[in-house]
Amino acid sequence: MKEINPRGKLQPKTVKRIQLLFFAAALATSSLIVRLGYLQITEAQQFQSDVAVQNFSSLPIPGSRGWIFDREGDVLAADVPVYQILYIRYPNDSYSAPKVARELAPVLGMKAKTLENMMLNQNQMQPTVTLVNQATPREMAFIAEHRDNLPGVLMMTVPQRVYPLGELGAHEIGFIGPIPASEWNQYQAQGYPKDALVGLSGLEQSYQSVLRGQYGEEKIPVSPAGIPLNQGIVSVPAKAGNNLVLNLDGPLQKVAEQALVQRINFLRGVGETNVHSGTIVVLNVHTGAVLAMASYPTYNPEWWIGGISNQHYQQYLTNNAGFNRAISGLYMPGSTEKMLTAMAALIHHEMTPNLQVLDRGGLQIGTYFMHNWNLGGFGWVGLKEAIEVSDDTYFYQVGLNMGHFNTNNPPSNISAWLTGGRVQALNQINDLGKKFGLTSLTGVDLPGEMPGYVTYANPPTLYDLPAAAIGQEEAYSTIGLATYIAAIANGGYRYQPQLVHEVTTSQGKVVKIYKPHLVDKVPVPENYLKIIQQSLELATHGTLGTATYYFGNDKVNVAGKTGTAESGNPGRNNSVFVGYAPYNHPEIAVAAVIPNVTGEGFRAAAPMAQQVIDAYFAKPDHPLTNPSSKFTTKNMKKHG
């Protein structure tokens, strides 16, 4: 099994690529700015001894933000140097500004009067004014060659965020931007200047304190009145932030994103014009490591660099592209709920594994007849067969058993049952859902996660409990569904999903490793879990398995369950798939959702999941995320 390639152990070709990315701009321009060191170095040395008694105006220099790498060491987010052009307003030197403006304006593509006005009047309370935020090589070369004719003009290196792989992992990586006004007081208390750039989504936000660099400064001597003095500048260097090395598998992430888009485009191409979004999540079943997480529509984090354009902002808003549907979107799970219903009924002794139900195409409940998806029915059905064929009637009966409702002898006081037995059964489903991470937060290390829920209809009805038993009264996140199926696969161990594997310094020294966090051992006996596992294998390989069409002949032995649930739009359903592979020795768990499809949902989410599973096992090493080779469900202790 291949381990994560930490920052200090990058492959030679990756090291070269990273070095070129970070230093190219500096190497290309170093010869042009040597002469600019006079004020900052030569004269600064002369005045270092006077620092304690001098008055200085501080010009903050942001420290390079920590980089973000995938598990193989490929760069997902980095800082590269850019150069700003500033002007220092020295006193008794008003004659210089017009002269400098005339000299510099043609190079900057500005009118001399406009530039002069900026130099003298913009940001008047400060001793410096920024003329250019990102200087071109031509502009830098001109300043270097004409330094003697440009008194007060200074070039300063600042970091700029880049996302080399563009949209890849956008919802997980996130983006940076100016501090929101509503959060300014909070950041100010932590020492941030008002113009700081901070993480606004994804890992950029949740690991802001880790990634942030330490500010340096250019200390400009000033008089007691705050007027700049021509006495040299003292530089205090900035310090880089720490890096993140992720569990995310870049190539698998790309496959997941492509599979999602391709499936949506295919469905739209065959007339499913309401289909426009979806999600897929891949977890390591033994650690909770997030190997891939795709959400569509998506965006490019670089849209936000330097301020987002109106065109991109409208695209971002119109498509709700910033919404991470994998952790914040909640979807009715359909028949993927049936395993939870069975386990809840089993552990509360409301059914036995040998329960048989006669399915004649549905179940009469009072005056309401609840249809099976197969209107002809399946005859006598047991638990394994019910999951294999996704028999609704069987689970209608299980739900009613949990609520102690006998269809042949209904409770004499229906009102009491609606607030008693019915609620008790819904509570049992909800409580077990919390244990599996369905109706509780999974704890994934991203902002914005939403917990799933079970609906307690108001006013209550006779049929909402059996509807809940087949996944029509709940809503779960895709990350919750992935956590749920992973726990079924590994024998009942629920792990916290984790994107970040370790934190390193800018030199690659490991600062912290995030070990697998075992949240809980679900209260389902091993023999019951084994029955559920066998049922899931039948659903993908049985003669009547609802996913056999896709997985029956797949080279990877996948166990899983399809689901179809109302999406909230008339005639449109959520297509859901949860599964794991290989069946006998599970490595990965997958959950996939595409909402707003017509008909049965198996044809939308299942083939997308199949594509991702096959891609994972097609890799020669198909690595489990480190530290899975050391930490398994058999030897893991519960981490606090």
Residue range 420-437: mean pLDDT, rounded = 98
- What is the full DSSP assignment across 87-128? EE--TT-TTHHHHHHHHHHHHHT--HHHHHHHHHHTTTTSSE
Residue range 22-45: mean pLDDT, rounded = 41
Q: Look up the pTM and report it.
A: 0.87
Residue range 490-511: mean pLDDT, rounded = 97
- For 447, the token pair is 């902002």
Q: What is the CA radius of gyration of the chain?
A: 31
User: Are β-strands 68-69 and 243-246 bridged in parallel, bridged antiparallel, or unpaired?
Assistant: parallel
Rounded-to-integer distance, Cα 332 and Cα 89, Å? 63
DSSP 440: S
Residue range 470-477: mean pLDDT, rounded = 97
Whether the CB-CB separation of 241 and 484 falls below 8 Å is answered with no
Rounded-to-integer distance, Cα 400 and Cα 109, Å? 77
- For 594, the token pair is 């595409």
In 3D space, the residue among 358, 388, 361 whose CA is nearest the CA of residue 372 turns out to be: 361
Q: What is the pLDDT of residue 518?
A: 98
Map tokens 């949740």 to a residue: 206
Q: What is the pLDDT of residue 157?
A: 86
- For 249, the token pair is 């598998």
Rounded-to-integer distance, Cα 397 and Cα 352, Å? 13
CB atoms within 10 A of CB 33: 17
Max mean pLDDT among 230-239, 305-314, 464-473 falls in 464-473
Q: What is the pLDDT of residue 464?
A: 95
In 3D space, the residue among 580, 367, 359, 607 whose CA is nearest the CA of residue 470 turns out to be: 359
Determine the 3-state secondary structure of 265 from DSSP: helix
Residue 255 binned pLDDT confidence (cut-offs 50, 70, 90): very high
Query: What is the percent of the chain with per-residue pLDDT over 90, rounded to a whole number?
Result: 74
Residue range 132-149: mean pLDDT, rounded = 91
Determine the 3-state secondary structure of 357 from DSSP: strand
Residue range 292-320: mean pLDDT, rounded = 93
Would you say residue 522 has pLDDT above 90? yes
Rounded-to-integer distance, Cα 372 and Cα 597, Å? 19
Residues 6+ apart with CB under 8 A from 145: 32
**CA distances, 515 to each of 210, 283, 500, 628 (Å):** 17, 15, 10, 9
Would you say residue 436 has pLDDT above 80? yes
Residue 617 binned pLDDT confidence (cut-offs 50, 70, 90): very high
Would you say residue 95 has pLDDT above 90? no
Give burial (CB, 10 Å; 0-12/13-18/19+) of 565.
Answer: buried
Poorest-pLDDT segment among 41-45, 352-356, 438-442, 449-453? 41-45
Residue range 136-152: mean pLDDT, rounded = 91
> For the chain, what is the mean pLDDT?
87
Q: What is the pLDDT of residue 623?
A: 53
Q: What is the pLDDT of residue 245?
A: 98
Would you say residue 218 has pLDDT above 80? no
Residue 152 binned pLDDT confidence (cut-offs 50, 70, 90): confident
Whether the CB-CB separation of 306 and 613 falls below 8 Å is answered with no
Phi/psi for 488 (5° steps) reads -65, -40
Determine the 3-state secondary structure of 304 from DSSP: helix
Q: What is the pLDDT of residue 477?
A: 98
Q: Which residue has the higher pLDDT, 118 or 5?
A: 118
Residue range 485-493: mean pLDDT, rounded = 98
Residue range 314-331: mean pLDDT, rounded = 95
Whether the CB-CB separation of 564 and 573 falls below 8 Å is answered with yes
Rounded-to-integer distance, Cα 277 and Cα 532, Å? 30
pLDDT per residue as tens digits for the range 371-408: 999 999 999 999 999 999 999 999 999 999 999 999 99
Determine the 3-state secondary structure of 198 from DSSP: strand
Would you say residue 366 has pLDDT above 80? yes
Query: What is the percent of the chain with per-residue pLDDT over 70, rounded to a whole number?
Result: 86
Q: What is the pLDDT of residue 93?
A: 63
Q: What is the pLDDT of residue 156?
A: 85
Q: What is the pLDDT of residue 637?
A: 30
Phi/psi for 41 (5° steps) reads -115, -60
Query: Which residue segments constitute the domains of the chain, with CATH numbers given?
Result: 7-246 (3.90.1310.10), 250-618 (3.40.710.10)
Would you say residue 261 has pLDDT above 90? yes
Would you say residue 24 has pLDDT above 70? no
Residues 188, 191, 197, CA angle at the centre, nearest 5°?
A: 75
Give burial (CB, 10 Å; 0-12/13-18/19+) of 173.
Answer: buried
Rounded-to-integer distance, Cα 357 and Cα 407, Å? 13
Residue 33 binned pLDDT confidence (cut-offs 50, 70, 90): very low
In 3D space, the residue among 492, 504, 381 whose CA is nearest the CA of residue 436 turns out to be: 492
Would you say residue 8 has pLDDT above 50? no
Q: Which residue has the higher pLDDT, 462 or 195?
A: 462
* Residues pairing with 628 in the sheet: none
Q: What is the pLDDT of residue 615?
A: 97
Rounded-to-integer distance, Cα 267 and Cα 264, Å? 5
Beta strands in 355-450 (DSSP E): 357-359, 362-365, 368-371, 379-381
Report how far apart the first and last C-alpha atoms of the chain are (Å, whole number): 27
Give burial (CB, 10 Å; 0-12/13-18/19+) of 501.
Answer: buried
Residue 94 binned pLDDT confidence (cut-offs 50, 70, 90): low
Residue 59 binned pLDDT confidence (cut-offs 50, 70, 90): confident
